[in-house]
Amino acid sequence: MNDILPSANASIPVPHTCMATSRITLPPLLVPRTLASQLLRLYDYPDPRRPGRIIKGYDCPHAVRTARMCAAVAARLGHSPARVKQYQIACLLHDLGRAGLDRRLFGRIWSWARAHGIPTRPREWRAVHPETRYGRETEAFVARYRTAMEGDGITLDSWACEQVEMRLGYARRLAARLRTMKPILRELGVTWAPWMGRVMLYYYYPEKLEGAQPWVRQLAEVLVACEQFEAYSNQRRGRDYYVRRREDLSEAFAYLHTLQREDIISRPVVRALRELAAEGAFDAVLAQARGRALTARERAYLRRTDEE
């Protein structure tokens, strides 16, 4: 876990110019370092194909960086310290429904789907296939495409269906993982509240937050905003998922504005994130996600982002 939690809340050295090194600080982890490591271990998943082998969480550093940014934005929006701490736990676990992700197989399935114009998210699936029973998107996908995929060399065995479930059945898989983990969470002293699970589902299932209290909805929006902001800066994900050659901050902000136009995230959330970025609060986290320091030009771009 040391690479994931390099030095709890400490600063990390980042080359500033060719001669000097400045130290910039990561937004804090509010939960104790040991607890954070134990929570991240919940992403470990026994490999059903190779007994004794554990599949490590695909992108725990993404979860940590997202959780750091989320807490900073939530605090900026005025949520109480106690709530923000609970929220950070939910953010650390927000991708738990992906525990067991088989990078190659997952990539093959979803590249195939994208190449065939097939929806890859539950709400997109339901828009195209309103006849599918709510929550049965995985079954509908498998029934519809099993033969075609097999023709293209992708066998939809139970392990492949799990990979489908990680996207199209995310709510069900997350609920199952959380159920399994409840006793461990209790042992770790974590009091799990239902809102924590709901904020984790918002990106794929915005309808599940209809009627939620405004503060729950806002925390859900913050998670979406920070998770996407991180993902757009995450070099590893860029390579593995998005066939991206370089990370571009303006694309990250453009996507946040798209989400704002679609009413997935609200203006105050985007504004708080932009303000913090402009103040330099996310420089370290972005440098870590990209695997390199921000250039002077990128820093200047971030400093400008407090302007609407």
Nearest distance in Å: CB 82, Fe ion: 24
Q: State the minimum distance, in angstroms, from the CB of residue 131 to Fe ion.
A: 30
Q: Of the two residues 154 and 223, which places its CB atom closer to Fe ion in the complex?
A: 223
Q: CA–CA separation, 34 vs 113, rounded Å?
A: 39
Shortest reach from residue 94's CB to Fe ion, in Å = 6
CB of residue 153 vs Fe ion: minimum separation in angstroms? 29
* Residues between 155 and 184 with contacts to Fe ion, criterion CB under 5 A: none
Scanning 7-15, 95-103, 207-215, 268-276 for contacts with Fe ion by CB under 5 A, the matching segment is 95-103
Give Cβ neighbours of residue 217 (< 8 Å, ≥ 6 apart). 202, 209
CA angle (136 as vertex; 213, 229 as ends), nearest 5: 50
Measured from the CB of residue 288, what is the shortest distance to Fe ion in angstroms? 15
Confirm or reject binding of residue 95 to Fe ion (CB under 5 A): yes
Q: Which stretch binds Fe ion (CB under 5 A): 40-48, 88-96, 261-269, 297-305?
A: 88-96
Q: Is the distance from CB of 193 to CB of 82 less than 8 angstroms?
A: no
Question: Quick one: 102 or 227, whose CB is closer to Fe ion?
Answer: 227
CB 228, min distance to Fe ion, A: 9
Size of the site for Fe ion (CB under 5 A): 2
Main-chain phi, psi angles of 108, to 5 degrees: -65, -45
User: What φ, ψ does residue 14 adopt, rounded to 5°?
Assistant: -130, 125
Identify which of residues 162 and 227 has a Cβ nearer to Fe ion in the complex: 227
Distance in Å, CB of 202 to Fe ion, minimum: 12
Gap between the Cα atoms of 2 and 238, Å rounded: 23
Pick the stretch among 23-31, 75-83, 90-98, 237-245 that binds Fe ion (CB under 5 A). Answer: 90-98
**Which amino acid is present at 120?**
T
Q: Token pair 């209790």 is at which residue?
A: 186
Site stretch for Fe ion (CB under 5 A), options 32-40, 92-100, 284-292, 297-305: 92-100
What are residue 5's phi and psi, to 5 degrees? -115, 75
Q: Near Fe ion by CB under 5 A, which window of 27-35, 46-54, 93-101, 277-285?
A: 93-101
Tell me if 126 sits within 8 A of 169, measured CB to CB. no
Q: According to CB under 5 A, which residues from 212 to 231 bind Fe ion?
A: 227
Return the exposure string of 297-308: e unless at least 16 CB atoms fall within 10 Å of the residue's CB, then b: ebbebbeebeee
Contact call for residues 175 and 92 (beta carbons, < 8 A): no
From the CB of 165, what's the least distance to Fe ion, in Å?
A: 16
Beta carbon nearer to Fe ion, 95 or 283: 95
Nearer to Fe ion, 232 or 253 (CB): 232
Find all residues with CB under 8 Å of 294, minimum gap 6, and list them.
Answer: 14, 283, 286, 287, 302
Q: Does 102 bind Fe ion (CB under 5 A)?
A: no
Complex with Fe ion: residue 137 or 230, whichever CB lies closer:
230
Where helices occur in 97-245 by DSSP H, the ranges are: 103-115, 122-128, 137-151, 158-168, 170-187, 194-201, 214-233, 235-240
For residue 173, how many other CB atoms are within 10 A of its CB?
21
Binding site for Fe ion (CB under 5 A): 95, 227
